[in-house]
């Protein structure tokens, strides 16, 4: 003997019935019903397919990814480590979006934006290295000229 929770088919009142009994009645409205019919009706009601609308979750992830791109994108030239952290955070949000909806257009756009930012960051770092090399070369050259001038004066 087990008690099962049912709803009255007439008034939707919550009732507890013994599953061993064939029929029962609602203590709220007095209607009679067969226990097995009500159990079967409940099983049919709950056996349908369920769909989950994740549009709001997707929208929130897009907003967070855009925030991280803006937050860290502005500092990437001077502080590449911070940019790398922000880039990774943004990529995580974008990956979550693509896990939920693989062809999400805004996520694809943000992924391309990050790729362009990576290229820009790479080019900026390359330019900075080249400029540093030019500065070092110029200093060495000036030191060499100064030494040549000193040697020339000594020899003359």
Q: Are residues 82 and 41 in the same domain?
A: no
Q: Residue 117's domain spans which residues? A: 62-154
Q: Are residues 72 and 117 in the same domain?
A: yes
Task: Please report the pLDDT score of residue 42 as a whole number.
Answer: 65
Residues in the chain: 156
Mean pLDDT lowest for which of 63-67, 140-144, 146-150?
A: 146-150
Ramachandran category for residue 152: left, alpha or beta (phi over 0 → left; psi -120 to 50 → alpha): alpha
Above 50 in pLDDT, residue 21?
yes
Q: Which of 19-33, 76-90, 97-111 has the highest mean pLDDT?
A: 97-111
pTM for the whole structure: 0.39
Above 70 in pLDDT, residue 85?
no
Domain count, the chain: 2
Number of neighbours of residue 136 by Cβ within 10 angstroms: 10
Q: Is residue 23 part of a domain?
A: yes
Q: Are 87 and 120 spatial neighbours (Cβ–Cβ below 8 Å)?
A: no
Of 31 and 39, the structure prediction assigns the larger pLDDT to: 31
Is residue 3 within a helix (H) or strand (E), and if so which, with residue range?
Answer: strand 3-7
Q: Are residues 101 and 26 in the same domain?
A: no
What average pLDDT is seen over the chain?
A: 75
Q: Are residues 127 and 73 in the same domain?
A: yes
- Dihedral over alpha carbons 93, 97, 100, 106 (to 10 degrees): 180
Task: Please report the pLDDT score of residue 155 as a whole number.
Answer: 67
Q: Which residues contact 153 (CB under 8 A, 6 or more apart)?
A: none
Q: What per-residue string of b and e applies to 63-82 under the rule 16 or more CB within 10 Å gives b?
A: ebbbebbeebbeebeeebee
Mean pLDDT, residues 55-78 = 73
Tens-place pLDDT, residues 100-140: 888 888 888 888 877 777 767 777 778 888 888 899 998 99
Q: How confident is the model at residue 86 (pLDDT cuts 50, 70, 90)?
A: low
Task: Please report the pLDDT score of residue 62 as a whole number.
Answer: 86
Q: Is residue 56 part of a domain?
A: no
Task: Please report the pLDDT score of residue 33 as a whole number.
Answer: 77
């Amino acid at each position: 003997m087990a008690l099962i929770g049912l709803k009255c088919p007439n008034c939707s009142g919550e009732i507890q019935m013994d599953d061993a009994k064939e029929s029962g009645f609602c203590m709220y409205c007095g209607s009679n019903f067969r226990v097995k019919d009500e159990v079967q009706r409940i099983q049919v009601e709950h056996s349908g397919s369920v769909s989950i609308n994740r549009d709001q979750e997707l929208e929130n992830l897009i907003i967070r990814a855009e925030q991280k791109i803006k937050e860290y994108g502005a500092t990437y030239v001077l502080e590449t480590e911070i940019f790398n952290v922000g880039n990774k955070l943004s990529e995580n949000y974008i990956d979550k979006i693509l896990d939920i909806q693989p062809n999400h257009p805004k996520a694809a756009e943000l992924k391309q934006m990050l790729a362009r930012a990576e290229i820009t960051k790479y080019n900026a770092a390359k330019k900075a290295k080249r400029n540093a090399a030019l500065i070092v070369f110029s200093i060495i050259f000036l030191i060499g000229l100064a030494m040549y001038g000193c040697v020339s004066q000594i020899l003359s």
